[in-house]
Amino acid sequence: MVADYQKQKKVFISIFLTGMSVLILSVCLRTIAPLNDAISGKPQYMRWIADRVARSIAARYANEAAVIVTSDEKTDCRRITDTSVPNPDDLYYIVSYAESTHSLCFVTYANLPKGWGQANSAVLHPNLGRNYGQKLNAPVRAVAVSQFQIIYPLAYLSLLHWRAKIDSSSFRRAANAKFQHWLSSSSQPSDSLDVEIDFASLRADVGRRHSLVNQVLIASIFGSILLVAFGGYRASSSHRQFAAFLARYHYPVSFAAYLRHDLSVLANRARQAYQDEQKRAVEQARAAIIANRSKEAIRERLESIVTTLSEEPKRALVREALARDNVDEMRGLIQQTEGQVGQRSSEEKLTFLLDSLKQYCTDEELDQFCTQAFEILAASGFRDARTFVVSSHDQLHARFKELQEQRMTETE
């Protein structure tokens, strides 16, 4: 049972400590801005701008053309050579972005006409980027017919950050910032680049991962609080049960001791303390038996003496001592009347001899030996009473030794 309590304690404390660790970590990650931003990652401004541009174009053409968004940190949009294709049948819109340069490149592709060479052409694969328009069923070889590039100023992009302070002055700085444009087109529709992006919704998209991270952290905080509460409650409940278990040994145990110490050690201490307490109680009970028998013998002796006294004052003194029932006082009167001051009385010497029997017999047996010894003392004197006690001691010691040998044989 103690081993079960120890296992329960380890499990519940582990749950409590795990919950506390997760709680502290989650609170730190949620409330300390640098840590919170680090796990949220760098804001992907250009990705979400490109996403909004592609969605707007796909909606404008009713999803009749492929509108693909890709990330391209290496290709310079201005190096893409445009080709004049008369009356192109199908158009493909590729929106590429680069976070490092804060640039957005919008390239319009057309099918490579039959009979044309493949120089300056590119293959558009179905798995290229994120397609918001008509899906590609097979690879398509196409040539660029127009390119448009825009570089966003940091003054504008910084307003999209989830910690940016939005006010009139910051908007004025963004409005005064310069957007760099570059356009090369031979057959670009005039209104294809006329795209409006809602600032508030774009800012929400940029902070979407940050919001998701904070939602996870808040859920982690609540979950860790539940773990702490569960672990603490179950540990407290287990402590109460263990304390009730040790109550049978009259051994109180505090919650702090329950947490710090091995429960098997506490249980062993409780058992040992209880055994010591029981042993002391037995010793006290046996000593009380001997003392009570000795007291009765002294009282009987004093009662027999009072009848032999001729002087009434002495008889009155003895009767008063008997009424007070004080052993030392009655023993002193016996010594005075018998002229044995400075020597131990026969009752005292017999009591001392009887004390040696305590370790070899039960309380009932000790009571019987005391009764017989004092009866012999009263009838035959101290010598016979001493002979009886010594003989009883030898018999009890022999019996005790025999029982020990028997137990050793059974153990082997």
Q: Cα separation of 333 and 120, whole Å? A: 137
CB-based contact 139:126 (threshold 8 Å): yes
Q: What is the pLDDT of residue 17?
A: 94
CB proximity list for 193: less than 8 A, separation 6 or greater: 106, 148
Please check whether residue 53 is in contact with residue 255, taking contact to mean a CB–CB distance below 8 angstroms.
no
Look at residue 190 in the predicted model and tell me its pLDDT.
43
Pairwise CA distance, residues 147 & 149, whole Å: 7
Q: Which stretches in the chain have pLDDT values below 50?
A: 188-191, 340-342
Listed by start position, the domains of the chain span: 2-41+214-245, 45-206, 263-411
pLDDT at position 195 is 65
d(CA 291, CA 44) in angstroms, rounded, equals 95
In degrees and rounded to multiples of 5, residue 358 shows phi and psi of: -60, -40
CA triple 239-235-229, angle to 5 deg = 145
CA 45/CA 206 separation, integer angstroms: 6
Instruction: Give residue 194's pLDDT.
Output: 59
3-class SS of residue 408:
helix
Residues counted in the chain: 412
Residues 6+ apart with CB under 8 A from 111: 88, 89, 90, 140, 141, 142
CA distances to 148, 176, 204 from 155, in Å: 21, 9, 18
What does the alpha-carbon distance between residue 99 and residue 316 come to, in Å, rounded to a whole number?
119
Nearest CA among 101, 98, 133 for reference residue 109: 133
**pLDDT score recorded for residue 139:** 92
Q: Are 323 and 377 in contact (CB under 8 A)?
A: no
